[in-house]
Amino acid sequence: MTVYDVIDAKKRGARLSGEQIRFFVRAVADGSASDAQIAAFCMAVLLKGMTDAECFVLTDAMAASGERCARPRAGGVYADKHSTGGVSDSTTLILVPVLACLGVKCAKYSGRGLGHTGGTLDKLESFPGLRVDLTPEQFEKQVERVGAAIAGQTQNTVPADKRMYAVRDVTATVDSVPLIASSVMSKKLASFADIILLDVKYGDGAFMQTPEEAVRLAKLMVSIGNAAGRKTLAAVTCMDQPLGDNIGCNAEVREAVEVLKGKKNDLAALSLYHCRKILAAARGMAEDEAAALAEKAISSGAALEKLAEIVYAQGGDARAIHDFSLLPLAPHVHTVRAAGSGYVDVSALALGKACCALGGGRTKENGDVDHTVAILLKKRAGERAEKGEPLAEIYYQKQDRDAFALAEGAFSLQENYRARPLVYAFIGEE
Q: In which element (H, E) is residue 402 found?
A: helix 401-409
- Is 392 within the bounds of a domain? yes
Query: Are 314 and 338 within one domain?
Result: no
Of 81, 162, 187, 201, the active-site residue reads 187
- Is 70 within the bounds of a domain? no
Q: Which pLDDT does position 214 carry in this prediction?
A: 94
Half-sphere exposure of 54 (CA within 13 A, CB side): 18
Query: How many other CB atoms are there within 10 angstroms of residue 313's CB atom?
Result: 20
Query: Are 264 and 370 within one domain?
Result: no
* E runs forming strands in 75-169: 79-83, 106-110, 148-152
Query: Are 187 and 224 within one domain?
Result: yes
Query: Each residue's pLDDT tens digit in the chain (430 positions)?
Result: 999 999 999 999 999 999 999 999 999 999 999 999 999 999 999 999 999 999 999 999 999 998 887 787 778 899 999 988 889 999 999 999 999 999 999 988 877 765 567 788 889 999 999 999 888 788 888 988 999 998 887 777 889 988 998 888 788 888 889 999 999 899 888 888 899 999 999 998 888 889 999 999 999 999 999 999 999 999 999 999 999 999 999 999 999 999 999 999 999 999 999 999 999 999 999 999 999 999 999 999 999 999 999 999 999 999 999 999 999 999 999 999 999 999 999 999 999 999 999 999 876 666 788 999 999 999 999 999 999 999 999 999 999 999 999 999 999 999 988 888 999 999 986 4
What does the alpha-carbon distance between residue 330 and residue 376 come to, in Å, rounded to a whole number? 12
What does the alpha-carbon distance between residue 202 and residue 241 come to, in Å, rounded to a whole number? 11
- Is 171 within the bounds of a domain? yes
- Is 141 within the bounds of a domain? yes
Query: Are 163 and 217 within one domain?
Result: yes
What does the alpha-carbon distance between residue 364 and residue 368 come to, in Å, rounded to a whole number? 9
Domain that holds residue 395: 328-414
The pTM score is 0.90
Query: Are 262 and 291 within one domain?
Result: yes
What interhelical angle do 302-313 and 136-146 show, nearest 10? 150
Active site residue 274: no
- Is 194 within the bounds of a domain? yes
- For the chain, give the mean pLDDT: 92
What does the alpha-carbon distance between residue 82 and residue 399 come to, in Å, rounded to a whole number? 34
pLDDT single digits (tens) 302-326:
999 999 999 999 999 999 999 999 9
Q: Pairing between strand 342-346 and 411-414? A: antiparallel
Task: Report whether 279 contacts 293 (CB < 8 A).
Answer: yes
Q: Which residues pair with 392 in a beta bridge?
A: 336, 377
Nearest CA-CA partner of 253 in 106, 120, 113, 95: 120
Query: Are 16 and 113 within one domain?
Result: no
Query: Are 105 and 52 within one domain?
Result: no
Active site residue 168: yes
Query: Are 115 and 233 within one domain?
Result: yes
- Is 73 within the bounds of a domain? no
Query: Are 340 and 316 within one domain?
Result: no
- Apex 229 CA angle, 143 and 106, nearest 5: 20
- Is 71 within the bounds of a domain? no
DSSP 150-191: EEEPPTTSSHHHHHHHHHHHTTT-TT-HHHHHHHHHHHHHTS
Of 65, 183, 191, 347, the active-site residue reads 183
Query: Are 286 and 381 within one domain?
Result: no
Task: Report whether 321 contacts 255 (CB < 8 A).
Answer: no
Of 81, 112, 116, 168, the active-site residue reads 168
> What's the total number of domains in the chain?
3
CATH code (residue 185): 3.40.1030.10
CATH code (residue 359): 3.90.1170.30
What does the alpha-carbon distance between residue 374 and residue 405 come to, in Å, rounded to a whole number? 15
Active site residue 332: no
Query: Are 297 and 409 within one domain?
Result: no
Of 161, 204, 245, 345, the active-site residue reads 161
Query: Are 134 and 165 within one domain?
Result: yes
Phi, psi for 59 (deg, rounded to 5): -65, -45
What are the C-alpha distances in Å from 7 to residues 4, 48, 181, 374?
Answer: 5, 11, 20, 46
Active site residue 82: yes
Query: How many other CB atoms are there within 10 angstroms of residue 304's CB atom?
Result: 23
Of 10, 22, 81, 82, the active-site residue reads 82
What does the alpha-carbon distance between residue 314 and residue 127 come to, in Å, rounded to a whole number? 10
Nearest CA-CA partner of 309 in 371, 260, 249: 260
Query: How many other CB atoms are there within 10 angstroms of residue 78's CB atom?
Result: 21
Active site residue 52: no
What does the alpha-carbon distance between residue 327 and residue 253 come to, in Å, rounded to a whole number? 8
What does the alpha-carbon distance between residue 220 and residue 215 come to, in Å, rounded to a whole number? 9
- Is 69 within the bounds of a domain? no
Amino acid at 404: F
